Amino acid sequence: MASFAPYAYIQCPCTESNLPTRRLGSESPTDPLETEQEEPTFDPRAPRANYSLYPLEHLLYCEDCHQIRCPRCVIDELVACYCPNCLFEVPISTVKSEGNRCTRSCFQCPICIGPLSVSSIEAQRDGLGAEFAAYGGPYVLSCGFCNWSSDEIGIQLDKPNSIYNQLAKIRHGGKSLTNARERRKEREERSKLGYSPTIEEEGGSEDGQEKTDLNATEDFDAESQFGNLKAFYQAQLSESSPVSSLGLPGDYSYGSPGALSRIMGLYTGSSFADKKSRTKKGIMREARDAPEGLHIFSPSSDEEAVNRLRTEGWGNTVSTTQRKEQSEQNTHFLSDLRPIPYLLRTRRSKRCKTCRHILSKPESKVHSTRFRIRLVALNYIPSITIRPLQTSSSSLLRPMKPTQFLLTFKNPLFDSVKVNIATAAKTPGRFSSKVTVLCPQFEVGANTDAWEEALREGGNKGGEREKRRTKAEASEGQHQAEAGKVWERGRNWVSVVVEVIPASLRVQAPAFLKSEELQKDESPLREDEDVLEIPVFVRVEWEADPTHDDTGGLAAAGAKDKEVKEKRELAYWCVLGIGRIARD
């Protein structure tokens, strides 16, 4: 609260373009009138504004659309998946089959989500690094942050590597666990032995079967249960889908005869599809035993939980965050927690949503941090920095006292740029401050030569600038900011002065001092309402060399012959956060 860093957020134009692009025919007559009217000033406090404001660094720029692109108007594309702990790349095919967790030896502590390291039991108290492999003996996973160890839940490992596979076979307390695949195999074998899952048979075989299956449910972890359920219903679907229709869950493909007949039914208007489906519908049945994925809730488990809560106490129950990380659903006690395999991370490239051109593409290697393509807005639109003109002792803005700020526009382009900035005279909101831009129109020079800058920086330029600034500050009284004049100018940057009269934050003020909104709503000051934010409409115009665009050799060559400069224009809203207003 004490320190406030001024910021400039840019509104991505994509939020405005939800105008009738896709509306078919139903355009109401009032709509064009509304859009034709003067656009309302952008309100940074509007609830929607939060979703469209980004710092310049987060924005990309599409060279083909000549438009800013924010994270909401780009499409992410997967380049690679990798484990954030061991940094091994996982092929996407493996991700599809094995799941989105690291299947090597990377685990997180279930208590504090710190990384777990393997250590031999003999040397457990040092517990650092996998080098203890040399010690031999049983191993445990231990957390270096909270000192949790898998010994606490009775899990010890024989090998220091491929822990994921080892853990999949071990239950709490060291008992072995048959994993999903073995279960399925078993099930298949059973079905081969003449157990066919149909309703007719159910009546006869239920009693003896169910008892053994109830025991079997105990062994299932969530993953294998889900696997069983999925396998069962897929089998059911494949048996019944060729003739059934009307959206069986999980079967949306238009290629299936069921869907096809449904579509045909829609168009012909006949009910020939319905008849068929009605006759065959009864064949689908639900899972009815554990190998098929049925989990029967036993009332005794509830009692057991209550009893455990009595004996172990509240302190041994899991927190919501801990529980959320677990893949198992019913973990209530700390002793039920299991180490969490690391979730894989992705590396993505980004495309423009409208023209599908690639805006950013990292190199495919996981360890490389370079980009093959990187079109960031930082290289196309001027950056804005804010600085108070007078250095005041307090960081808060004094209400009703005119304060001046310097806006510095820095041009990243190789062409000089004309900038127009406009603000409403009063900031929107209940406490509206008065804002005046002293110089709303100016030209920023081109970002010509990096060498020049380097030479100047090395030489006397920096000092000179410093001198000029100090002089300006020293002679503050005389050196007044003049309307229509640029305050300071550099090779590719321009500073202009903005004068602000911060509003009084008093709710109980005399009526003439109050804004309309405040008169309507006299509730006390809300959170962050004391931050002075100025919406500014920035319009940038420049003449670009069309040859810079590599839109194909021939076109470029033709343009070069003509030597025509293309006029470009970009306009967007920008929100300047200037400071907090002091309460009086």
Contact positions vs other proteins (CB under 8 A): 56-60, 71, 82, 84-87, 112-115, 117, 123, 126, 128-129, 131, 134, 143-146, 345, 350, 360, 369, 371, 374, 376-378, 457, 462
Query: In angstroms, what is the minimal distance from the CB of 573 to other proteins?
Result: 19
Q: Which residue in the block uniquely carries the two structure tokens 């003049």?
A: 482
Our CB check for other proteins shows the closer of 128 and 263 to be: 128
Q: What is the DSSP letter of 508?
A: S
Which string of DSSP letters, residue by residue, matches 154-185? T--BS-SS-HHHHHHHB-GGG-B---HHHHHH
- Nearest residue to 507 via CA among 499, 516, 518: 518
Query: In angstroms, what is the minimal distance from the CB of 376 to other proteins?
Result: 4
Phi, psi of 396 (to 5 degrees): -90, 155
Q: What residues does 170 pair with on adjacent strands? A: 176
Our CB check for other proteins shows the closer of 359 and 500 to be: 359
Query: In angstroms, what is the minimal distance from the CB of 417 to other proteins?
Result: 19
Q: How remote is the C-alpha of 305 from its chain's centroid?
A: 37
- Residue 355 contacts residue 62 (beta carbons within 8 Å): yes
CA–CA dist 292, 249 (Å, integer): 17
CA–CA dist 260, 273 (Å, integer): 9
CA–CA dist 519, 516 (Å, integer): 5
Our CB check for other proteins shows the closer of 57 and 527 to be: 57
Query: In angstroms, what is the minimal distance from the CB of 60 to other proteins?
Result: 7
Element (DSSP H or E) covering residue 433: none
Our CB check for other proteins shows the closer of 86 and 525 to be: 86
CA–CA dist 440, 496 (Å, integer): 8
- Residue 391 contacts residue 10 (beta carbons within 8 Å): no
Query: Which residue type occupies 94?
Result: T
Query: In angstroms, what is the minimal distance from the CB of 131 to other proteins?
Result: 6
- Nearest residue to 361 via CA among 68, 548, 351, 73: 351
Our CB check for other proteins shows the closer of 33 and 134 to be: 134
- Nearest residue to 167 via CA among 152, 182, 179: 179
Query: In angstroms, what is the minimal distance from the CB of 351 to other proteins?
Result: 13
Q: What is the DSSP letter of 333?
A: B
Query: In angstroms, what is the minimal distance from the CB of 494 to other proteins?
Result: 20
In this structure, the strands spanning 371-374 and 358-362 are antiparallel
Query: In angstroms, what is the minimal distance from the CB of 366 to other proteins?
Result: 8
Rg of the chain's alpha carbons, rounded to an integer?
A: 34
Our CB check for other proteins shows the closer of 126 and 521 to be: 126
Query: In angstroms, what is the minimal distance from the CB of 134 to other proteins?
Result: 7
For 168, residues 6+ apart whose C-beta sits below 8 A from its C-beta are: 177, 179
- Nearest residue to 154 via CA among 166, 171, 168: 171
Our CB check for other proteins shows the closer of 56 and 503 to be: 56
Our CB check for other proteins shows the closer of 128 and 283 to be: 128
Query: Which residue type occupies 114?
Result: G
Query: In angstroms, what is the minimal distance from the CB of 124 to other proteins?
Result: 11
Our CB check for other proteins shows the closer of 86 and 564 to be: 86
Query: In angstroms, what is the minimal distance from the CB of 518 to other proteins?
Result: 36
Our CB check for other proteins shows the closer of 143 and 439 to be: 143
Query: In angstroms, what is the minimal distance from the CB of 222 to other proteins?
Result: 24
Our CB check for other proteins shows the closer of 84 and 154 to be: 84
CA–CA dist 508, 136 (Å, integer): 75
Tokens of 249: 């869950």
Our CB check for other proteins shows the closer of 30 and 320 to be: 320
Our CB check for other proteins shows the closer of 85 and 423 to be: 85
Element (DSSP H or E) covering residue 372: strand 371-374
| DSSP-based helix, strand, coil % in the chain, nearest 5 | 35, 25, 40
Query: In angstroms, what is the minimal distance from the CB of 337 to other proteins?
Result: 16
Query: In angstroms, what is the minimal distance from the CB of 580 to other proteins?
Result: 20
Tokens of 68: 């800013």
CA–CA dist 297, 173 (Å, integer): 23
Our CB check for other proteins shows the closer of 85 and 403 to be: 85
Phi, psi of 330 (to 5 degrees): -100, 65
Length of the chain (residues): 584
